[in-house]
Amino acid sequence: MHREVELKFAVDDDDQVPSLIELAGPAADGTAFIVGEPEQHVLRATYYDTADLDLARHDLTLRRRVGGQDGGWHLKVPGGESERSEVRLPPGRAGSAIPEVLQRLVRARTQGRPLVPVAKITTRRTVHRLFDATDRPLLELAHDRVSARRVLPLGGSGDATGPEITWQEIEVEVLDGDEETLTAVAGELAARGLAAAPHTSKLARVLGPDGRTAPARPKKARRRPTKAPTSGVALAYVGDQLEQLRSQDLLVRMDRPGSVHKMRVATRRLRSALDTFRSSFAPDAVTALRAELRWLAGVLGEVRDAEVMHERVVGVLRTEPAVDAGPTEMVDAGPPDGDDAGPPAAGEADARLRSAHRAAREALVHELDGERYDRLLDALDDFVSNPPTTQRGSRPAGKALRRGVARQYARVRRLVERAGAATDADQRAELLHEARKAAKQTRYAAELAGDVFGGRARAFAAAMERTQELLGQHQDSVVLRQRLRELAQATTDPVAAFTYGRLHALEEVRAREAEERLPAVWSRTSKKRLRRWLR
């Protein structure tokens, strides 16, 4: 996967294209930059999307391009403000089908709708590259003369091609340099009167308003009145979380760090919202959706748990002293030295846990490509667009939110109290696990209530999150100890087995410490002043 960091500028004529040397100035160490000989390329690209432009509306670009040094199939995925990731595959023969792997990546956006040509763009490009004194390529400035046509699908009667439009632009892209140099060049271009391009991509300019990216919900959403209909508040939130789930689907398939966790959180938030507002919708619809969301959260959880276990087990093992002649003789293992550093158990655990993670991830992708997941997305879409509301859905949201959060808070309190009174260790661990899940659901419901009650609900949610995190540490220890037992039973190396046992004992201490801290943390979470808004 290629990471693309670039900026675009609009130009009216060739005279506005400055020298890259002039733009960059001297290097930070005082040495001179070098500009290579200009290169000329003709790039011909066909862009694909659904008839409704579902990809473009979410800032995704799929094309087949020939010419230049990177011809092929490209899927561009948004990153930061000036950053995009690009999945590249060979071009294949002219007229060949879109590669299956790319179709799967955008599956959550297309949902089976066919991908068809939507634009044809020809770019006559002049490339200038900036090198440092060691011939390392730093930046690339591309002066593009573009001609493009919109392609309009007309079903069985063929495609209509729109009028040709032409323009010029400059793209400045980081190759192997730092973004500070890009910022300096961009600042110099702006100082010379060049404005940022009004479009994020060439395709966006061709499609115009039809391909405009769907607006994102503001991070600080405007508060809704407490008398707003319950169903309206619920559906807005469900729609937001469904969009988050779809956004993370692509990143999960690309194996982007943190994406599994974010997709799992969106899934759990959806389940929590449906529970909080369950009386506002037909019971059968809510029950069915919550069951399927629970299934999806479980599949995602297998991958996430494997990630966490690998990170924690191997991370701890690499800092452990190595065992030399026997369990009572320890030698300093020294600092980590690559993947094979640490005691023998580290390498063995690394291999086993990587294998478990790989298997869990393959199972997840298989499910994301399956009919059950497709049906879930369809059902969520239908729930939002054709909500099965009940009479209670027209009642004020404030009352429903108070009632829902209060009900869930009461469940957390009961579980925490029962865990505190439990004398059996296994029973106490199970109750704390249930309390963690209930605390998480209560937190999500309170965060949702923040759209109506503002800071009061958000303060309660933040306090509940602290309890949830402490209970999560306890549960992590429970799961980790189980994994350590499995590793110890599977190994034939007595030294590795001893190391697993030592870590198991340390995790028991960690779990006890979490239990000892719980009364104080829960006391702060359950303060009456944090719950006054529930009355």
The pLDDT tens digits for 246-298 are 999 999 999 999 999 999 999 999 999 999 899 999 999 999 999 999 999 99
| 67, pLDDT greater than 80 | yes
pLDDT bin (cut points 50, 70, 90) of residue 333 is very low
| 63, pLDDT greater than 70 | yes
Do residues 532 and 456 make contact, with C-beta atoms less than 8 angstroms apart?
Answer: yes
Is 223 inside any structural domain? no
Same domain, 202 and 262: no
The secondary structure of 265-277 as a DSSP string is: HHHHHHHHHHHHT
Same domain, 100 and 201: yes
Least confident of 280-284, 312-316, 328-332, 478-482: 328-332
Average pLDDT over residues 451-461: 92
Residue 403 bridge partners (DSSP) = none
Is 92 inside any structural domain? yes
| Dist. CA 27–CA 133, nearest whole Å | 9
Same domain, 185 and 265: no
Question: What's the pLDDT score for residue 129?
Answer: 87
**Token pair in block for residue 41:** 């390329």
Is 217 inside any structural domain? no
Output the CA–CA distances (angstroms, integers) from residue 441 to 158, 198, 396, 425, 453, in the order listed: 52, 43, 22, 25, 18
**Token pair in block for residue 377:** 């997305």
pLDDT bin (cut points 50, 70, 90) of residue 314 is confident
Q: Half-sphere exposure (CA, 13 Å, Cβ side) for 261?
A: 7
Q: What are phi and psi of 501, to 5 degrees?
A: -65, -40
| Dist. CA 132–CA 135, nearest whole Å | 5
Average pLDDT over residues 28-46: 82
Least confident of 22-26, 203-207, 489-493: 22-26
Is 124 inside any structural domain? yes
Average pLDDT over residues 438-444: 95
Q: Output the average pLDDT for the chain.
A: 86
Question: What's the pLDDT score for residue 62?
Answer: 97
Least confident of 38-42, 291-295, 318-322: 318-322
More confident residue, 168 or 186: 168
Contacts of 483 (CB under 8 A, 6+ apart): 309, 313, 353
Kindly provide the b/e burial profile for residues 442-464, where b requires at least 16 CB atoms within 10 angstroms of the residue's own CB. Answer: bbbbbbbbbbbbeebbebbbbbb
Percentage of residues of the chain with pLDDT beyond 70: 86
Q: Which of residues 211, 242, 270 is at a domain's end?
A: 211
CATH number, position 361:
1.40.20.10
Do residues 221 and 237 make contact, with C-beta atoms less than 8 angstroms apart?
Answer: no
The secondary structure of 339-385 as a DSSP string is: GG-SSHHHHHHHHHHHHHHHHHHHHHHHHHTSHHHHHHHHHHHHHHH
**How many structural domains does the chain have?**
2
| Dist. CA 420–CA 523, nearest whole Å | 13
| Dist. CA 495–CA 330, nearest whole Å | 11
Question: What's the pLDDT score for residue 532?
Answer: 92
Is 218 inside any structural domain? no
Kindly provide the b/e burial profile for residues 102-132, where b requires at least 16 CB atoms within 10 angstroms of the residue's own CB. Answer: bbebbbbbbeeeebebbbbbbbebebbbbbb
Same domain, 155 and 258: no
Same domain, 416 and 323: yes
Same domain, 357 and 458: yes
| 33, pLDDT greater than 80 | no
Average pLDDT over residues 328-355: 59
Q: What is the pLDDT of residues 183-234, one digit of tens each?
A: 777 788 888 888 888 888 899 999 988 766 554 444 444 555 667 899 999 9
Considering the entire predicted model, what is its pTM?
0.82
Average pLDDT over residues 155-160: 56
| 412, pLDDT greater than 50 | yes
More confident residue, 1 or 512: 512
Is 224 inside any structural domain? no
| Dist. CA 502–CA 507, nearest whole Å | 9
| 453, pLDDT greater than 50 | yes
Question: What's the pLDDT score for residue 214?
Answer: 53
Closest CA to 84 of 203, 192, 194: 203
Contacts of 225 (CB under 8 A, 6+ apart): 452
Rounded to a whole number of angstroms, the CA Rg of the chain reads 28
pLDDT bin (cut points 50, 70, 90) of residue 23 is low
Output the CA–CA distances (angstroms, integers) from residue 31 to 21, 27, 38, 181, in the order listed: 12, 5, 22, 14
| 96, pLDDT greater than 50 | yes
| 491, pLDDT greater than 50 | yes
DSSP state of 31: P
Same domain, 394 and 471: yes
Is 455 inside any structural domain? yes
Is 222 inside any structural domain? no
What is the four-CA torsion angle of 481, 486, 491, 495, rounded to 10 degrees?
10
Find how far residue 446's CA is from the centre of its chain. Answer: 23
Question: What's the pLDDT score for residue 331?
Answer: 34
pLDDT bin (cut points 50, 70, 90) of residue 119 is very high
Same domain, 242 and 163: no
Contacts of 42 (CB under 8 A, 6+ apart): 67, 122, 123, 124, 125
Same domain, 134 and 234: no
pLDDT bin (cut points 50, 70, 90) of residue 470 is very high
More confident residue, 159 or 59: 59
Q: What are phi and psi of 299, to 5 degrees?
A: -65, -45
Average pLDDT over residues 302-317: 85
pLDDT bin (cut points 50, 70, 90) of residue 496 is confident
Q: How many CB atoms lie within 10 A of CB 156?
A: 4
Question: What's the pLDDT score for residue 247?
Answer: 93
More confident residue, 475 or 130: 475
pLDDT bin (cut points 50, 70, 90) of residue 32 is low
Question: What's the pLDDT score for residue 83?
Answer: 64
Q: What is the pLDDT of residues 383-411, one digit of tens each?
A: 999 999 999 989 888 888 999 999 999 99
The residue segments making up the domain with residue 488 are: 230-534
pLDDT bin (cut points 50, 70, 90) of residue 335 is very low
| 330, pLDDT greater than 60 | no
CATH number, position 141:
2.40.320.10
Residue 143 bridge partners (DSSP) = 126, 170
pLDDT bin (cut points 50, 70, 90) of residue 334 is very low
Question: What's the pLDDT score for residue 225?
Answer: 63
